[in-house]
Amino acid sequence: MKKIVTWILVADGKRARILHNDGRGRGLAAVPGAERSIELKPSRDMGSDRPGRTHESATSGRHAIEPRVDWHRFEKTKFAQSMAKLLDEAGARGNFDRLVLVAPPRTLGDLRAALAETTRARVIAEIHKDLTHESIGALTEHLGETLTL
């Protein structure tokens, strides 16, 4: 009988790691080289020093213009897209049969949007929590309800 390999992506907007399970009773192990993180500066450091100014059309008043892009959020979305690309490539190579996504709701939405259709079809569960700081033992407890390890 062929073993069913399950990958578990545990991520938030700036760090991620991928764990694998090779079947019942095998537990979790880290996928070698599949831990990623980025350094996110505060939003105030990503844009200009001060927001732009504009003149009121009817009076002589001036107002600050809010930035159209939240650069902090933009970087988190870009990170989720890079993780989705990594999963898509690994799925195309046949590295896993099933996929579990563990991430806060916003990051989970970014991942869902970026995953290829074939990879999305392999998702068997989603957990809406930030568990990036948890140990493998603690993750086993959280995933025990979802996945038979």
Q: What is the pLDDT along the chain (149 residues), one digit of tens a residue?
A: 678 899 999 999 899 999 998 877 778 888 988 889 888 777 666 665 566 666 676 777 766 666 677 788 889 999 999 999 999 999 999 999 999 999 999 999 999 999 999 999 999 999 999 999 988 888 888 887 677 65
Quickly tell me which residue has 């998702």 as its tokens.
123
Domain 6-38+65-143 has CATH 3.90.1150.10: no
Tell me if the pTM is above 0.85: no
Query: Helix, strand, or coil here: 1?
Result: coil
Backbone angles phi, psi at 101, to 5 degrees: -110, 125
